Amino acid sequence: MTDHSATPSNNPTNADLLATNAALLAENQRMAELLAGMQNNNERKSKKKNTDQHEEHQSESNVKTGETHVRTTRRRNNPFSKEIMSFKMPKNFTLPMTLAPYKGIGDPKIHVTKFESMMFLNSNSDPILCRSFPTFLDGAALLWFSNLPAGSISSFDRFTKLFVNHFAASKIYIQDSDYLSTIKQGQQESLREYMMRFTEAAMQIPDLNPEVQLHAIKSGLRPGKFQEAIAVTKSKMLKEFREKAQGEIEIEELREARRNEKPMKKEEERPQRSTSRDIRKPFKLAPMFNLYTKFNTKREDKIKEILHNKLIRPPARAGTYQDQKYVDKNKHCALHQKFGHTTDECVMAKDLLERLARQGLLDKYILTRR
């Protein structure tokens, strides 16, 4: 008979079950806390990521909004239409640099006329004229242009009309019809110079009566044979007076040319007696004007800029007026682009600059006008 009391039992007791159960509960509690901590950590990371993405998106949105605002502002300040702004400027286009910017004082029509005369050699396209014209505005005129409504300018005619109407009150009349009576021909002034000076002043007077102009120009003549002839014939038409004045001008210039030729002939006769027949002096051009404008820069610099801006073309037969046997290689002319004489010695360059100055195309270079 087997004794069961002496053999250890394999079945767990209640105490063991309670202890195991308590250990499982503790492990479950620890796992639950661990899972809760991981979940909270993931939520914090997710929130931070969402916050960073939102801030980044907001920053990009602000940048785009700022760029859009800048573009909108620029378009609002640009008065040109889309057709003018979308026009593609030529690659070889260069702006002329001989026109002084308009600052709001003076006759706006004169400024527009000078601009059109310079741009005539480059282009007559409406978009090019519109986009080039603001380059020659400054001060109050430039401020006026920047405040024009967006898209308000669709053609150069409208642009100039707005410009002239706005600055119409800025036109300053330096002289009136009474001023013409103060213009007198100088003792050493030729009739041509007097007529040019008088006509230039008369053209600045609006609605000038031709009879008043005729009386003033006859009163300003220097006492002499021509004034006596005019008094005898009693010209009643300005056109008639100008025809007689033109004939007198030709006589004066012919006399002046003869006076200049006489000493030259005497000088040329002397070396011919003592030298061979093959040697002859180079021909020299005579100045075209008696009085010349004084400039604030060198003649060579102005000629180079004028040629660069294509305001004029170099002479086609530049070297034919001078004997090439006596060319000095140490001297170079910017106008003729040849050796033999300097730009300062060039009579053609001097006359050319004077003509451009009297046309008002070299105002920024003028120091004083005699």
Among 233, 252, 281, the domain-final residue is: 281
The reply to whether 123 falls in a domain is no
Residue pair 111/136 in contact by the 8 Å Cβ criterion? yes
What is the domain count for the chain?
Answer: 2
The reply to whether 203 falls in a domain is yes
Residue 173 has pLDDT above 90, yes or no: no
Q: Give the CA-trace dihedral at 160, 165, 167, 171, to 10 degrees.
A: 100
Average pLDDT over residues 8-33: 67
The reply to whether 208 falls in a domain is yes
The reply to whether 92 falls in a domain is no
Of 44-48, 90-94, 111-115, 221-225, the one with minimum mean pLDDT is 44-48
Residue 270 belongs to domain with CATH number: 1.10.1200
CB atoms within 10 A of CB 111: 23
Same domain membership, residue 275 and residue 299: no
Same domain membership, residue 267 and residue 323: no
CA distances from 131 to 86, 124, 152, 287 (A): 11, 12, 14, 40
Of 84-98, 166-180, 189-203, the one with minimum mean pLDDT is 166-180
Q: What average pLDDT does the structure give for the chain?
A: 76
DSSP 153: B
Choose from 37-41, 48-52, 146-150, 256-260 the range with maximum mean pLDDT.
146-150
Residue pair 155/126 in contact by the 8 Å Cβ criterion? yes
Write down the pLDDT at residue 70.
44
Among 221, 248, 281, the domain-final residue is: 281
Burial class of residue 253, CB neighbours in 10 A (0-12, 13-18, 19+): middle
Q: What is the pLDDT of residues 57-77, one digit of tens each?
A: 665 655 555 554 444 444 456
Residue 15 has pLDDT above 60, yes or no: yes
Same domain membership, residue 291 and residue 264: no
Residue 217 has pLDDT above 80, yes or no: yes
Please work out, in degrees rounded to the nearest 5, the angle formed at the alpha carbon of residue 109 by the alpha carbons of 104 and 112: 85
The reply to whether 143 falls in a domain is no
Same domain membership, residue 345 and residue 271: no
Residue pair 146/108 in contact by the 8 Å Cβ criterion? no
CA atoms within 13 A on the CB side of 149: 4
Same domain membership, residue 180 and residue 266: yes
Backbone angles phi, psi at 110, to 5 degrees: -65, -40
Same domain membership, residue 296 and residue 233: no
CB atoms within 10 A of CB 281: 12
Write down the pLDDT at residue 6.
44
Write down the pLDDT at residue 2.
45
Q: Is the pTM of this model over 0.75?
A: no
Domain containing 268 equals 176-281
Write down the pLDDT at residue 5.
45
The confidence band for 164, taking pLDDT boundaries of 50, 70 and 90, is: very high
Among 281, 302, 320, the domain-final residue is: 281
Nearby residues of 111 by Cβ (< 8 Å), 6 or more positions away: 99, 102, 136
Write down the pLDDT at residue 75.
44
Average pLDDT over residues 131-152: 90
What one-character-per-residue DSSP string does 47-84 give? HHHHHHHHHHHHHHHHHHHHHHHHHHHHHHH--B-HHH
Write down the pLDDT at residue 235.
78
